[in-house]
């Protein structure tokens, strides 16, 4: 059966949309009544097609929507409230009403003289429907998705529960998220389920009893209308109205009279819970009659209906059974989930979700800022409890409440600390917004020690009264400079002043005048001795085996030329024994000094005057012979096999040059070789 549902949350705020939807549902209901057998053969019909066919059928029979509606209302049938599940039972009555109207029309036609038929004027209900809005389209597509799931064998409650609710934001009231994020679900009627011991058995429940061991038995029983099951060769066992836990013990004792089995050889299971019809109304995403498995509680039924809307209450939901009514509180369920088993449903139970009467927001230094629904005498203290309590940094002396009074917004300061001490509460009204502020100032009763200490950080002034106490807490390092330290003190006007301290005097005479008393926000800085030392380095480059860059300089005058050469791996074979030191002037980095040194003498005799001591930032370059040699070339051209330019070597002959050029070609004139040479005389070529 195709269901065209239009959830209230999906409807646009148009004044005539309610009439449009009712008209559409009216015609769809008539269509299903006219042709249930046709629809079963054409399951792909869309709601719009069904509506058009029903309208054409009404016009063909000479009727209109208004008179059909009125006659059905006389029979107690309101088509706007009929659910798709009820249509098959009402089909005969609907067709009978239409037949009666057709007969009355025929009698009126026979009594009246024939008159020219005036042009057919469409009734207001027959006017073309307005163009489908985006919200209508979304509702139609949602209904079609639900219908597709129904064709696949999914129950109506599962189809509705699986369909996502159209919301892009977090539910505005705490507790509604249970129905949005699928924290709860509805159980279907198929498959073995494990009901709680509090489940109440009734007509239609199917139980399976199995015995294995010395006796063998396995059979299913459906509880009859009179409330009993009838095992073979045994008297009836009445189960209707008995809790599941009690029923299992009753069945065990009855079967033990006819069969032999050990306690672990007897099993009872609820194979198929009975189906019940639950009517859900009020502020829910979907409303109407729902066919559910009786294993579901009122909480699960609300899931099938999509849960309360943004306006719906989560604290005052009513479960109505006959003349009795029971209050369902989502917050109570969240604190104790076992509460749900107190809300098992019976056939034709009614669940009504009213509008939430008092919703209050809380934000700031609170564990779970949200909007909460309050009931009865629940006020500020209960709101804080629902929100998980105050944060550790909450400022309890001033909690602010924003409230609308006489068309204006006012701000109320509440001293929660005082209220708690007097065991009082603060009354909250609908729409109030509670703001819990954090502690406004940072921790002030501390002093800080930093620098050359093992344990830098903040220390409480309760146990740390003087500078000597702070030094004990921080533990001075071995390299700390103790003759000079600095204390930065913050004055009351937030300005600062710097005090120089002698830690040696303070440690030798703790509690003396030099051992100052600490004040809040004091910062003691102890510097290391190395802060006051210039750390230099040296570099060794050139004709050495391992270039050394920025080697730390030693201040004991032990870094000589000989040691520097050893640090660099020794001189290379191409070293000519000379070196050049580039020395920087520490007082003027732009001023350089070049010093020529004899590396051979320094390396050969460490005690010689040539083995001088290097200074910080010296750069030593060991000279290479190649640095002082010019590279000359000889060019060979003409009738040779490999003409080109070749490096000139000492004692190089003409024969050597021709060999490098690959020798003479066959056509070469061996009796003539021209040599061109540039000779330098008196610095002129």
DSSP string across 649-666:
-TT--HHHHHHHTT-B-T
- Cα–Cα distance, 570 to 575 (Å, whole number): 10
Model pLDDT, residue 10: 41
* Residue 409 pLDDT > 70: yes
3-state SS, one letter per residue, for 135-170? HHHHHHHHHHHHHHHHHCCCCHHHHHHHCCCCCCCC
Model pLDDT, residue 611: 92
Model pLDDT, residue 248: 93
Summarize pLDDT for 61-70 with one digit per residue, the tens.
777 777 777 7
Element (H, E) at 485: strand 485-490
Model pLDDT, residue 14: 37
What residues have CB less than 8 Å from 209, skipping those under 6 apart? 217, 218, 219, 220, 221, 231, 251, 255, 266, 267, 268
**Residue linked to tokens 């209707």:** 240
Judge whether 237 and 222 are in contact, CB under 8 Å. Answer: no
* Residue 468 pLDDT > 70: yes
Summarize pLDDT for 134-175 with one digit per residue, the tens.
545 555 565 566 556 555 554 444 444 444 434 334 458 999
Nearest to 250 by CA among 265, 238, 264: 238
Tokens of 501: 């301290």
Element (H, E) at 288: strand 288-293
Angle between helices 87-111 and 17-34 (to 10 degrees): 90
Q: What is the mean pLDDT of residues 74-91?
A: 63
Instruction: Output 65 or 445, whichever has higher pLDDT.
Output: 445
Model pLDDT, residue 223: 93
Q: Give the lowest-confidence range in 224-228, 452-456, 624-628, 633-637.
A: 624-628
* Residue 20 pLDDT > 60: no
Q: In what order do the strands lie in the sheet with 457-460?
A: 457-460, 446-451, 523-526, 485-490, 496-501
Q: What one-character DSSP code corresponds to residue 545?
A: S
* Residue 17 pLDDT > 50: no
- Cα–Cα distance, 392 to 382 (Å, whole number): 18
Summarize pLDDT for 241-278 with one digit per residue, the tens.
999 999 999 999 999 999 889 888 999 999 888 888 99
Summarize pLDDT for 531-550 with one digit per residue, the tens.
888 788 899 999 999 999 99
Q: What is the mean pLDDT of residues 228-249?
A: 92
Model pLDDT, residue 554: 83
* Residue-range domains of the chain with CATH: 8-110+124-151 (no CATH), 156-188+275-353 (3.10.560.10), 206-272 (3.30.1950), 359-438 (3.10.560.10), 446-531 (3.10.560.10), 537-628 (3.10.560.10), 630-685 (no CATH)
Q: What is the mean pLDDT of residues 406-431?
A: 94
Model pLDDT, residue 51: 59
* Residue 24 pLDDT > 50: no
Q: Give the lowest-confidence range in 60-69, 181-190, 660-669.
A: 181-190
Judge whether 563 and 546 are in contact, CB under 8 Å. Answer: no
Model pLDDT, residue 150: 52
Q: What is the mean pLDDT of residues 359-371?
A: 94
* Residue 91 pLDDT > 60: yes
Summarize pLDDT for 480-497 with one digit per residue, the tens.
999 999 999 999 898 999
Question: What average pLDDT does the structure give for the chain?
Answer: 81
Model pLDDT, residue 293: 86
Model pLDDT, residue 443: 76
Model pLDDT, residue 517: 93
Whole-number percent of the chain with pLDDT over 90: 49
Q: What is the mean pLDDT of residues 403-428?
A: 94
Instruction: Output 158 or 392, whichever has higher pLDDT.
Output: 392
DSSP state string for 358-402: -EEEEEESBSS-EEEE--TT--HHHHHHHTT-B-TTEEEEEEEEE
Instruction: Output 10 or 83, whichever has higher pLDDT.
Output: 83
Sign of CA dihedral 173, 174, 175, 176: positive
Judge whether 53 and 28 are in contact, CB under 8 Å. Answer: no
Summarize pLDDT for 290-325 with one digit per residue, the tens.
888 888 888 888 888 888 999 999 999 999 998 999
Sign of CA dihedral 52, 58, 62, 63: negative
Tokens of 533: 């030392």
Instruction: Output 84 or 509, whichever has higher pLDDT.
Output: 509
- Cα–Cα distance, 157 to 276 (Å, whole number): 12
Model pLDDT, residue 135: 44
């Amino acid at each position: 059966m195709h269901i065209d549902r239009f959830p209230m949350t999906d409807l646009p705020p148009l004044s005539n949309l309610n009439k449009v939807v009712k008209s559409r549902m009216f015609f769809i209901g008539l269509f299903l009544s006219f042709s249930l057998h046709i629809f079963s053969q054409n399951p792909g019909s869309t709601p719009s097609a069904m509506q058009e066919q029903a309208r054409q059928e009404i016009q063909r029979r000479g009727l209109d929507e208004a008179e059909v509606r009125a006659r059905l209302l006389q029979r107690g049938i309101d088509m706007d409230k009929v659910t798709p599940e009820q249509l098959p039972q009402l089909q005969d009555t609907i067709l009978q009403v239409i037949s009666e109207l057709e007969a009355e029309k025929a009698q009126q036609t026979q009594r009246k003289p024939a008159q020219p038929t005036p042009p057919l004027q469409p009734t207001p209900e027959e006017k073309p429907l307005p163009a489908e809005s985006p919200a209508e389209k979304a509702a139609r597509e949602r209904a079609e998705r639900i219908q597709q799931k129904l064709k696949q064998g999914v129950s109506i409650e599962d189809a509705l529960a699986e369909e996502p609710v159209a919301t892009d934001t977090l539910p505005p009231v705490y507790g509604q998220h249970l129905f949005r994020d699928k924290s709860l679900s509805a159980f279907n009627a198929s498959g073995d389920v494990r009901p709680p011991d509090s489940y109440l058995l009734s007509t239609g429940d199917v139980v399976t009893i199995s015995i294995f061991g010395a006796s063998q038995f396995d059979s299913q029983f459906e509880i009859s209308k009179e409330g009993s099951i009838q095992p073979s060769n045994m008297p009836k066992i009445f189960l209707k109205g008995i809790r599941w836990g009690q029923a299992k013990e009753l069945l065990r004792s009855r079967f033990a009279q006819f069969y032999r089995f050990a306690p672990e050889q007897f099993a009872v299971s609820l194979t198929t819970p009975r189906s019940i019809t639950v009517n859900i109304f009020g502020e829910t995403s979907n409303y109407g009659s729902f066919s559910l498995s009786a294993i579901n509680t009122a909480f699960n039924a609300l899931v099938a209906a999509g849960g309360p809307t943004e306006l719906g209450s989560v604290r005052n939901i009513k479960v109505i059974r006959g003349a009795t009514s029971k209050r369902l509180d989502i917050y109570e369920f969240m604190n104790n989930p076992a509460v749900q088993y107190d809300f098992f449903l019976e056939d034709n139970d009614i669940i009504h979700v009213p509008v939430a009467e008092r919703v209050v927001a809380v934000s700031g230094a609170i564990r779970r800022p949200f909007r909460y629904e309050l009931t009865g005498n629940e006020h500020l203290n209960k709101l804080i409890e629902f929100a998980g309590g105050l944060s550790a940094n909450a400022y309890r002396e001033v909690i602010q409440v924003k409230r609308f009074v006489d068309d204006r917004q006012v701000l109320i300061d509440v001293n929660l600390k005082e209220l708690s001490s007097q065991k009082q509460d603060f009354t909250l009204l609908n729409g109030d917004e509670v703001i819990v502020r954090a502690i406004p100032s940072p921790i002030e009763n501390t002093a800080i020690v930093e620098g050359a200490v093992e344990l830098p950080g903040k220390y409480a002034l309760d146990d740390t009264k003087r500078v000597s106490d702070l030094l004990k807490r921080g533990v001075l390092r071995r390299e700390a400079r103790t003759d000079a330290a600095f204390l930065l003190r913050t004055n009351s006007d937030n300005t600062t002043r710097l005090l120089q301290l002698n830690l040696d005097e303070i440690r030798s005479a703790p509690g003396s005048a030099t051992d100052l008393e600490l004040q809040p926000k004091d910062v003691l800085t102890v510097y290391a001795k190395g802060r006051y030392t210039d750390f230099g380095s040296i570099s060794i480059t050139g004709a050495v085996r391992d270039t050394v860059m920025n080697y730390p300089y030693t201040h004991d005058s032990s870094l000589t030329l000989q040691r520097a050469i050893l640090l660099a791996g020794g001189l290379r074979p191409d070293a000519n024994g000379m070196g050049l030191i580039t020395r920087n002037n520490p007082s003027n980095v732009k001023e350089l000094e070049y010093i020529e040194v004899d590396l051979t003498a320094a390396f050969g005799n460490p005690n010689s005057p040539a083995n001088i001591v290097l200074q910080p930032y010296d750069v030593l370059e060991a000279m290479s012979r190649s640095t002082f040699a010019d590279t000359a070339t000889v060019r060979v051209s003409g009738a040779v096999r490999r003409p080109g330019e070749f490096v000139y070597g000492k004692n190089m002959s003409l024969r050597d040059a021709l060999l490098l050029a690959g020798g003479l070609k066959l056509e070469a004139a061996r009796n003539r070789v021209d040599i061109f040479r540039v000779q330098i005389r008196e610095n002129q070529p």
